[in-house]
Amino acid sequence: MADSKDYYEILGVPRDADTDTIRRAFRRKAATLHPDVNKAPDAEEKFKEVNEAYAVLSDEQKRANYDRYGTPDGPAGFGGGYGDVSDIFGGGGFGIDDIFDTFFGGGGRGGQSARRARTRGRDMGIRLTVSLEEAAAGATKTLRYDRLATCETCGGSGTADGGGVKTCPRCHGSGRVVEVRRTVLGQMQTESECPQCHGTGQVVDKPCPDCHGEGRRRVHEEVQVNVPAGVSSGWTTTLGGKGEAGLRGDATGDLVVSVEVEQHERFERRGDDLYCRVTVDALAAIVGTTVSVRGILDGETVAVPIPAGCQFGQEVRVERRGMPHMGRIGRGDLVALVEVTVPTDLTQKQLLEVAGIVAERSLDGDAPADASDDVKAGGASTGKDEAAEHFAGEGWVPKNPFKDAGRKKPTRGTGRSNKGRRR
């Protein structure tokens, strides 16, 4: 029965991955899933699966069996020792192995395309995080990372003094080897990476003691990255020759840097416009005022004009005070979202003055229509009287300008009028 586990998926490598890729993937997985490091309940089980996957994929024969039959043990029911039944049809010179030779081409490639191992250095990617202030002004950032760089001892050749590189004697430079086995179904052949040269087609007779013949070593690299003003998240730049060095002097890959701009505590970026919140006193919002906001650039102060009668949630736009346009002249706008707050620290005198203004607006006919129910015959409002006396408190009570204003003194009833009502 075929093994149901996908060893390639467990290690996170493609099915055509070379030996070095599988080894690096195993080390990464093992370092994160080891029970001494990872305390997750299923860490031990996953660690066992990773070890099992590596044990199969790192062995050339087991991997070939797994790729062909779905199990590292070969065809189901026959184990690892394959019987020879090619003469089942007698000695007539034609056996079942001839049928398979017809389909698989005798000494061919077993249906797989010959592919030499990669020797060119891979490109590397790294993420660079910058603040919004750095994105606005531009900055030069230092990146530190690990990579495979050219070995300084051998200069990338991979050989020691007096050594050299020669064609692999096992695969004759192809980087692939073909193995033929006789099975119950006939002659089967598989192609895999050469275990002696690891698919490169070349071997080093006297390898460098520092890089062990690879021509590259792991180093801690430090590079400078110029971040342009106005950059936004997702912008990338490529540093040529700063990726992984190639095997024994082959081409070096590049380093691709992707920029991510952090969220800001005061500003919200929308394109090149910056949005912020400003708090305005309700009385200041009535008459209009100017609010100072610290800008995004160093030492910048932006004056935000609040128009008279400004409402809560109103947006006030200040042109050319947002983010710089990357690669061209100009800036976006600063948009201030106004939040109007009611003052709670007015003195008694200030409260009376505000009450007077409210009352005056009521007398001028600015009050709501249903306020007429509270107005007495003489024109004064009981609500104004009560408000003025309430705000005055028990201590200092100034003269209420609305009290008794325009009221007619009540007249006493006469006997004649009372008499007229008698029946």
* Count of Cβ atoms closer than 10 Å to residue 27 Cβ: 12
Q: What's the pLDDT band for 26 if we cut at 50, 70, 90?
A: confident
**The predicted structure's pLDDT at residue 331:** 97
Q: Phi/psi at 383 (nearest 5 deg)?
A: -65, -40
Domains and CATH numbers, the chain: 1-78 (1.10.287.110), 124-164+205-261 (2.60.260.20), 268-341 (2.60.260.20), 346-415 (no CATH)
Rounded Cα–Cα distance for residues 330 and 324 (Å): 6
Rounded Cα–Cα distance for residues 383 and 388 (Å): 9
Q: Please, which residues bridge with residue 48 across strands?
A: none
Query: Does residue 403 carry a pLDDT above 60?
Result: no
**The predicted structure's pLDDT at residue 196:** 85
Rounded Cα–Cα distance for residues 403 and 82 (Å): 117
Q: What's the pLDDT band for 193 if we cut at 50, 70, 90?
A: confident
pTM above 0.75, yes or no: no
Q: What's the pLDDT band for 365 if we cut at 50, 70, 90?
A: low
Residue from 406, 398, 409, 408 nearest 381 by CA? 406
Rounded Cα–Cα distance for residues 69 and 185 (Å): 13
**Residue position matching structure tokens 């800036």:** 331
Tokens found for residue 180: 């033929």
Rounded Cα–Cα distance for residues 64 and 74 (Å): 9
Q: What is the mean pLDDT of residues 364-369?
A: 55
Instruction: Tell me the one-letter amino acid at 253.
Output: G
Q: Output the average pLDDT for the chain.
A: 79
**Residue position matching structure tokens 């996170």:** 12
Percent residues over pLDDT 70 in the chain? 74
Query: Does residue 95 carry a pLDDT above 80?
Result: no
Query: Does residue 94 carry a pLDDT above 70?
Result: no
Q: What's the pLDDT band for 385 if we cut at 50, 70, 90?
A: low
Distances (CA, A) of 90 to 86, 101, 187, 226: 9, 18, 17, 78
Q: Phi/psi at 195 (nearest 5 deg)?
A: -75, -15
Query: Does residue 84 carry a pLDDT above 50?
Result: no
Dump strand ranges (E) for 282-319. Answer: 289-294, 301-306, 315-318
Q: How far, rounded to the nearest angstrom, does the alpha carbon of residue 333 sit from its chain's CA centroid?
A: 26
Rounded Cα–Cα distance for residues 343 and 282 (Å): 7
Q: Taking a C-beta distance cutoff of 8 angstroms, is the pair 360, 354 a contact?
A: no
Query: Does residue 56 carry a pLDDT above 90?
Result: no
Checking DSSP bridges between strand 124-130 and strand 255-261, what pairing results, if any? parallel
Which pLDDT tens digit goes with each residue over 60-76? 888 887 777 677 776 54
Q: What's the pLDDT band for 134 if we cut at 50, 70, 90?
A: very high
Lowest-confidence segment of 17-21, 108-112, 399-403 by average pLDDT: 108-112
Query: Does residue 285 carry a pLDDT above 50?
Result: yes
Lowest-confidence segment of 10-14, 151-155, 260-264, 282-286 by average pLDDT: 10-14
- Three-class SS state of 277: strand
Distances (CA, A) of 201 to 18, 21, 155, 205, 421: 13, 17, 21, 13, 132
Distances (CA, A) of 130 to 200, 268, 331: 41, 15, 19
- Measured over the CA atoms of residue 158, residue 161, residue 166 and residue 170, the dihedral's sign is negative
Rounded Cα–Cα distance for residues 383 and 375 (Å): 8
Q: With the CA atoms of 294, 295, 297 and 301 taken in that order, what torsion angle do they form, in degrees rounded to the nearest 10? A: -60
**The predicted structure's pLDDT at residue 218:** 92
**The predicted structure's pLDDT at residue 13:** 87
Q: What is the mean pLDDT of residues 113-135?
A: 85
**The predicted structure's pLDDT at residue 131:** 97
Tokens found for residue 341: 């707050």
Which pLDDT tens digit goes with each residue over 209-236? 999 899 999 999 999 999 999 999 999 9
Q: Taking a C-beta distance cutoff of 8 angstroms, is the pair 268, 277 a contact?
A: no
Rounded Cα–Cα distance for residues 148 and 120 (Å): 12
